[in-house]
Amino acid sequence: MAGKPKLHYFNGRGRMECIRWLLAAAGVEFEEKFIEQPEDLDKLKSDGSLMFQQVPLVEIDGMKLVQTRAILNYVATKYNLYGKDMKERALIDMYSEGVADLGDMIMLLPLCPPDQKDAKIAQIKETTTNRYLPAFEKVLKSHGQDYLVGNKLSKADIHLVELLYYVEEVDPSLLANFPLLKGLKTRVSNLPAVKKFLQPGSQRKPPMDEKNLEEAKRIFRIK
């Protein structure tokens, strides 16, 4: 019987959070080993655990997996969240990549120099409202189904709903004109495994605050 997947990262969202969401939504229990000092990261590097000297690292099924997308795609396939065939998978990938593009912009916001932050936030709001949310709203409208692809929950829905929570954190009014996306968010949030993950006390991580940012900078040696 395989052990639980083990996630190695710092105690914050970063590039591991989408993996936490996906595992949680799939109903998979997982352990976390938090990197707390730069030396912890050094040790992972020197003992050969990190193929490209980077985290996230997920130990699963006897493997040490790195590269966020490789990990997500493995988990999605294993837990049947990746469509029924190649063509569905291509759509799921396309949607997931779009989510990741906007998600990265939001994720990197705390690293933005203070004098550029307002402009960056304005840019994020603009692209959210004019590029990304309309694209996903249109997909849902085009088929009228409950989920983005193949009338079935997939990683694309989970990643998108996670993103919608972050969009709301930036500005709650951004979702105002996207009724179908609001519907998807509610629907996915009410799935038992997701509902549980959204409760306080779960392994879901909070937004990055000053303290969390300083910790990340220290661990990853970012100036």
Partner 1 sequence: MAAKPKLWYFCGRGRMESIRWLLAAAGVEFEEEFLETREQHEKLQKDGRLLFGQVPLVEIDGMELTQTRAILSYLATKYNLHGKDLKETVRINMYAEGTLDLMMMVAVAAFKPPEEKEESLALVVKKAKTQHFPVFEKILKDHGEDFLVGNKFSWADIQLLEAILMVEELDASVLSDFPLLKEFKTRISNIPTIKKFLQPGSQRKPPPDSHYVEIVRNVLQL
Residues that bind partner 1 (CB under 8 A): 51-53, 61, 63, 65-67, 69-71, 73-74, 77-78, 86-87, 89-91, 93-98, 101, 131-132, 135
As a whole number of angstroms, the distance between CA 130 and CA 108 comes to 20
The Cβ of residue 161 has, within 10 Å, a number of other Cβ atoms equal to 22
Q: How far is the CB of 194 from partner 1 (least distance, A)?
A: 24
Residue 150 Cα distances to 110, 173, 193, angstroms = 36, 29, 21
Q: How far is the CB of 119 from partner 1 (least distance, A)?
A: 16
Ordered alpha helix ranges (H), 109-171: 114-127, 133-143, 155-170
Cα 139 → chain centroid: 20
Q: How far is the CB of 28 from partner 1 (least distance, A)?
A: 15
Specify burial of residue 96 (Cβ count, 10 A radius: 0-12, 13-18, 19+): buried
Q: How far is the CB of 43 from partner 1 (least distance, A)?
A: 17
Q: How far is the CB of 202 from partner 1 (least distance, A)?
A: 26
Q: Which is nearer to partner 1, 12 or 56 (CB)?
A: 56
**Which residue from 205, 207, 125 is spatially nearest to 172, judged by alpha carbons?**
125
Q: Which is nearer to partner 1, 63 or 111 (CB)?
A: 63
Q: Which is nearer to partner 1, 94 or 213 (CB)?
A: 94
**37 phi/psi in degrees, rounded to 5:** -130, 155
Q: Which is nearer to partner 1, 102 or 219 (CB)?
A: 102
Q: Which is nearer to partner 1, 90 or 176 (CB)?
A: 90
